[in-house]
Structure 1
Amino acid sequence: MHSPAKLFAIAALGLVISQTHADLVQSPSMSVDNDASSLAAKVLKNDQRASSYNNLSSLNTLSITERSNDKIRRQTLASKVEVPEDEPSVIDRLNTVASNTVRKFSQTGVASWYGRQFHGRKTANGDTFDMNALTAAHRSLPLNCFIRVTNKDNGKSVVVKVNDRGPFHGNRVLDLSYGAAKKLGITNSGTAKVSIERVDSPAS
């Protein structure tokens, strides 16, 4: 049996221990521990966000890098033809200009004619020359194209097919078949000043 004094001392000690435990629970050190746990959770959460952000950044960087490489590739390709991308190439532009130039071709100069001495021979396009057909020889116009020839002295016109090359002497710009020269009224004079215009067909 404990004496009343000992029982009082035990009770007092228990009260002190209880109070101390309560103080410890509410002490700054425990608050720091709680804050540390909370901070650790936040850090983990932020790390997860950072990881996701880094992954997303990598994807964006890859995408940007691919687009950048693609742009560099397109620019390199475009620089070879010296035109902006998505526009016609230099060759396409030159072909268009050349085609339009030839289509709108017009010329003025002296025309002559040739006939019997060349009748039956092969022309530059492979045809057999027919002196009575409506044909002509020109130095540069496309073979098999059609031109309207007008005699500037009398206003007469005829549409002829360019099937041969020439003339290659003098200052003449066109050699007409006998048949074409006859329609223009130049068989007697031998030459005449004419205008030449490119047309699409014999009916033009």
Structure 2
Amino acid sequence: MFLSFAVTTSFTHADMLESSSLNNDSDSSSNLAARVVNKNSNYDHIPSINSLSITERSGDSIRRQTLAAKVSAPQDEPSVIDKLNTVASNTVRKFSQTGVASWYGRQFHGRKTASGDTFDMNALTAAHRSLPLNCYVRVTNKDNGKSVVVKVNDRGPFHGNRVLDLSYGAAKRLGVTNSGTAKVSIERVSGPNA
């Protein structure tokens, strides 16, 4: 994998190679950037270089040259969040919980969720405090027996002792929209069609 960003370096005449090699000779001009890159090849503090722009000022004339270069960097490891999600996902494959669920809707419609999704109040989604993001759970309303599978794509609820915050669409399917809350059971499932 190549990371890339532009590095622009300006050298004073003293920073350049021997001044005799910087005459207006077209051959030395075409190799100027290559010689500077080769001379200063300690890139330990730079993850990658996509191009190097060198400006030489000599009297009234300015000469610029850009050299395209690729310096490979080790492939990035997964982020800490990805690692934690994997551990959490493997730990809670068999998950069940009972408690009070609430719902949220219009006031959050179109905002970003904790997973990065855009919240759609009519989608079948939910917020949970600790389940891995993007996992699926079957939610069953204990009062009427209705159930729905939702994707956990947000964090919450952070009010009282509630265990789940359903999207409006999920709450509507469970018959919770009028009462606002309901006692539910939550069971981890493998996917949206489980």
Aligned to 2:92, what secondary structure does the other structure show? Answer: helix
Which consecutive aligned stretches of 4+ in structure 1 deviate over 2 angstroms post-superposition?
A: 96-101
Equivalent position amino acid for 1:171 in 2: N
Q: What is the distance in 2 between the residues matched to 1:178 and 1:101? A: 29
Q: 1:203 to 1:110 in 2, by over 3 A?
A: same
Unaligned runs of 5+ in 1: 1-95
Q: What displacement does 1:115 show?
A: 0.1
Q: 1:179 to 1:99 in 2, by over 3 A?
A: closer
Aligned to 1:103, what secondary structure does the other structure show? Answer: coil
Q: What is the distance in 2 between the residues matched to 1:140 and 1:105? A: 11
Match of 1:166 in 2: 156
User: Does the aligned pair in 1 maintain the 2:136–2:151 contact within 8 Å?
Assistant: yes
Equivalent position amino acid for 1:161 in 2: K
Equivalent runs, 1:25-104 vs 2, <5 Å: 101-104=91-94
Larger helix fraction of residues: 1
Deviation readout 1:165-184 (Å, 9 max, x if unpaired): 00011110000000000000
- Identify which of 194, 199, 204 aligns with 2:184: 194
Alignment RMSD: 1.9
Equivalent position amino acid for 1:130 in 2: D
Match of 2:116 in 1: 126
Deviation readout 1:98-140 (Å, 9 max, x if unpaired): 6554010000000000000000000000000000000000000
Match of 1:142 in 2: 132
Q: TM-score, normalised by structure 2?
A: 0.54
User: Does the aligned pair in 1 maintain the 2:89–2:132 contact within 8 Å?
Assistant: no
Q: What is the distance in 2 between the residues matched to 1:133 and 1:190? A: 17
Aligned to 2:152, what secondary structure does the other structure show? Answer: strand
Match of 1:176 in 2: 166
Aligned to 1:198, what secondary structure does the other structure show? Answer: strand
Q: What is the distance in 1 between the residues matched to 2:133 and 2:90? A: 16
Q: What is the distance in 1 between the residues matched to 2:87 and 2:111? A: 35
Q: What is the distance in 2 between the residues matched to 1:142 and 1:98? A: 6
Aligned to 2:171, what secondary structure does the other structure show? Answer: helix
Work out the percentage of aligned pairs sharing the same amino acid. 92
Q: What is the distance in 1 between the residues matched to 2:112 and 2:133? A: 14
**2:93 aligned with 1:113, yes or no?**
no
Q: TM-score, normalised by structure 1?
A: 0.52
